[in-house]
Amino acid sequence: MASQILPLELIDRCIGSRIWVITKGEREFAGKLLGFDDFVNMVLEDVTEYINTEDGVKKVRLQQTLLNGNNICMLVPGSSGPEDA
């Protein structure tokens, strides 16, 4: 059987590199992935938070951040965020 990779294995391989996190709401995060747990709570470093509003995109810079997995919708490994897409 061809080798298969599980979704969270893919994210595990992404530890140490940059990742783009898209939430259920109007927010996105891009940063270096330091780790995550079974709930996909994530620790990110050198983070940019992108807040999509009617007036445009607001950017917030953050240092080491623990992102609650509750609101996470999609992960894009190896991407530096919406500006990189």
Chain positions contacting another protein, by CB under 8 A? 8, 12, 15, 25, 27, 34-39, 41-43, 47, 62-68, 70-71
| Residue number, 70 or 78, with CB nearest to another protein | 70
What's the closest the beta carbon of residue 66 comes to another protein, in angstroms? 5
What's the closest the beta carbon of residue 62 comes to another protein, in angstroms? 4
| Residue number, 12 or 83, with CB nearest to another protein | 12
Cβ-count burial 36-64 (b if 16+ within 10 Å, e if not): beeebebbbeebbbbeeeeeeeeeeeeee
**Which of 36, 33, 63, 34 lies closest to 47, judged by CA?**
63
What's the closest the beta carbon of residue 55 comes to another protein, in angstroms? 12
The whole-angstrom distance between residue 20's C-alpha and the CA centroid of its chain comes to 4
